[in-house]
Structure 1
Amino acid sequence: MAGSPLAEQPSSLRAWLLSPEPNSRWQARLGRFYLGWRAFTRNPLAVVGLGIVVLLILMAIFADVIAPYSPVAGGDLRTERLLPPSETFWLGTDDQGRDIFSRIVHGSRITLLVIVLVALIATPIGLLVGTVSGYLGGWVDTVLMRTTDIFLAFPRLILALAFVAALGPGIENAIIAIAITSWPPYARIARAETLMVRNSDFIAAVRLQGASTPRIIMGHVVPLCVSSLIVRVTLDMAGIILTAAGLGFLGLGAQPPQPEWGAMVATGRNYLIDQWWVAAMPGIAIFVVSLGFNLLGDGLRDVLDPKAAK
């Protein structure tokens, strides 16, 4: 019934979230989240990107349940080698008789691991360097930004190759190398945001109250830079995936028999003409996941960028 409490509950909840005079910080935060979610869902491509990312996460979590075969154990080379997609092997088999679908599913764990660890390592470094450089200025700014420029002067993949060559092949060293080459753009963004707020009235008021420089940077400047960095990190996920796949393709990332997508493409290039699925299927996985993060990043930019038109 139209006048029942159940019918009125969603409307009252929406009114509570959109209240112009929230009664608590919690209500204000939920209201901002609700407005951001409504703005995000108006972009259908962003919702598609979010769906792809969520699917990647679920696939990585439940890989043991989803994958019908072992990702590393080879099949019968006489009867199961380089088979085309079928009801038994949905995406075909590779040169060792292994199910490509199972390897792609388990490879999502490696991809997600690289994404998460690179973000956890590179983002704080870039945020700290950028905020300290922008707030202190002077010779500190000069030293930190010239160091950042040195890293930016080299293409990311080339610099990552140099670090992996020095550290040795392996997924752990690949993650470290990608993280080392990923922080400079974050530092640039954080510095630009810091330069915009360091002379503002509320920073001057905090300084007059006796707050120390580290407290001002960590408690007041860093939070203002987070939203811009979230957007940039999300957009950079596609580049991180491609860099990790490139290192795997060259044999410098995850080592066989680990089901890393780039290494799978490298294996399949030898059979590209007659058994195209060996290289095409992991290549499609790389493309779809990279596209998903790009679409998600575009949607987050529209929501979180305070300079974007509403």
Structure 2
Amino acid sequence: MTAQSQSLRDWLLSERPQSRRQARLGRAYVIWRQFSANRLAVFGLVIILALIVVAALANLIATHDPYIGNLTHARLLAPGTDGYLLGTDDQGRDIFSRLVFGSRITLLVVVLVAIIAAPIGLVVGTVSGYAGGWVDAVLMRITDIFLAFPKLVLALALVAALGPGIENAILAIAVTSWPPYARIARAETLTFRRSDYIAAVKLMGASPARIVFLHIVPLCLSSLIVRVTLDMAGIILTAAGLGFLGLGAQPPMPEWGAMIADGRRFILDQWWVAAMPGFAILIVSLGFNLLGDGLRDALDPKEAGQ
């Protein structure tokens, strides 16, 4: 380690930071050091980064048109035949190219669900925990109603009411995903609201809305980020389940769950048609789980100081 890098490390790990910027960078460095020490978590991060790269460069990575196949000579070709890396489906479409473009749909689903569901759960949970009384009772009973139904069953009911399509599937998954986030945010808020830090903010004349959104919400973010990351695998499986049942992305969109549904008729003889998208779902779900476990350990304040 060079003297310059050692000096930078000492500056980041200083117990008496001279500015907020130094304190934030030091905290980020400690979190990264905790995270990078977990090799499985780094492996999960690599998987997710690979998913993002594949989705961004799908036009360059795909070897064939994902929507139009060769109905004359290329039906149900085995992997590695005639330049088809993972084989073809019953429509003669290249499975590899469909998986590559399907990564965009998967990434779109998890990002939009997180953007919609996480803020809703965060706001409901923090407001409920800080306000208490009848506000807490009403909001938590609504949350309990959503939690009483299995996520996939409730999503199926919502999509059936709204109509099939990827947009309605995303909305249905988001509506069924926010209650756990509300529960976590409420539990965190109940811990923070009687702290000396919040009492000092009250004495300074801050309004309840300012306290909730500027002081309590940031304290709940780390736990929420971990839970959202761990839930990504479940979101992918729910989206794949809706696609498998024909209620998610509609043909000819290369959604992984719909690809498994198309290949179930050939599972005994042409196994690759259903196995390849299933393997893709497995790998991406594993990546999110490993990443979530690593973030949980890195963002845990009891672990960060070790």
TM-score range normalised by the length of the shorter chain = over 0.9
What residue number does 1:73 align with? Answer: 68
Deviation at 1:306, TM superposition (A): 2.3
Q: Among 192, 197, 211, which residue is 1:197 paired with?
A: 192
Aligned equivalents of 1:230 and 1:18: distance in 2? 24
- What is the distance in 2 between the residues matched to 1:294 and 1:282? 18
Displacement after TM superposition at 1:8 (Å)? 2.3
1:14 Cα offset (Å): 1.4
CA distance in 2, matches of 1:173, 1:113: 13
CA deviation vs aligned residue, 1:4-26 (integer Å, no higher than 9, x gap): xxx42222221221222222211
- Tell me the distance in 2 between the aligned counterparts of 1:279 and 1:128: 40
Task: Note if 1:121 corresponds to 2:116.
Answer: yes
Q: 1 CA distance for matches of 2:45 and 2:274?
A: 26
User: TM-score of the superposition, structure 1-length normalised?
Assistant: 0.96
Aligned to 1:99: 94
Q: Which amino acid aligns with 2:189?
A: T
Which segments of structure 1 move beyond 6 Å, counting only runs of 4 or more? Answer: none
Deviations 1:156-198 (A, max 9, x none): 0000000000000000000000000000000000000000011
In structure 2, the partner of 1:108 is 103
Where in structure 2 are the equivalents of 1:7-22 lying within 5 Å?
Answer: 7-22=2-17
Segment of structure 1 superposing worse, 252-261 or 193-202: 193-202
Are 2:93 and 1:133 aligned? no
Cα 1:10–1:307 change in 2 (3 A) is: closer
CA distance in 2, matches of 1:158, 1:85: 35
Matched residues, percent identical?
A: 73
Q: What are the equivalent positions in structure 2 for 1:198-277 lying under 5 Å apart?
A: 198-277=193-272
Q: SS of the counterpart of 1:266?
A: helix
Residue 308 of structure 1: how far off its partner (Å):
4.6
Instruction: Name the residue aligned to 1:64.
Output: 59
Aligned partner of 1:24 in structure 2 is: 19
Q: Report what 1:290 is aligned to.
A: 285
- Give 2:76's match in structure 1, choosing from 58, 82, 91: 82
5+ residue gaps, structure 1, are: none
Distance 1:182 1:195, change over 3 A: same
Moved more, 197-206 or 11-20: 11-20
- Is 1:178 the counterpart of 2:189? The answer is no
Deviation at 1:209, TM superposition (A): 1.4
Write the letter of the residue equivalent to 1:81: R
For the residue of structure 2 that corresponds to 1:97, the secondary structure is coil
Cα separation, partners in 2 of 1:198 and 1:237, compared to 1, 3 Å: same
TM-score, length-scaled by structure 2: 0.97
Q: Distance in 2 between matches of 1:307 and 1:21?
A: 20
Name the CA distance, whole Å, in 1 between partners of 2:173 and 2:33: 34
CA RMSD of aligned residues (A): 1.1
Matches of 1:240 and 1:196, distance apart in 2: 29
Rounded Cα–Cα distance in structure 2 between residues aligned with 1:59 and 1:170? 23
- In structure 2, distance between residues paired with 1:307 and 1:256: 49
Mapped to 2, the partners of 1:89 and 1:9 lie a distance apart of 51
Q: Which amino acid aligns with 2:9?
A: R
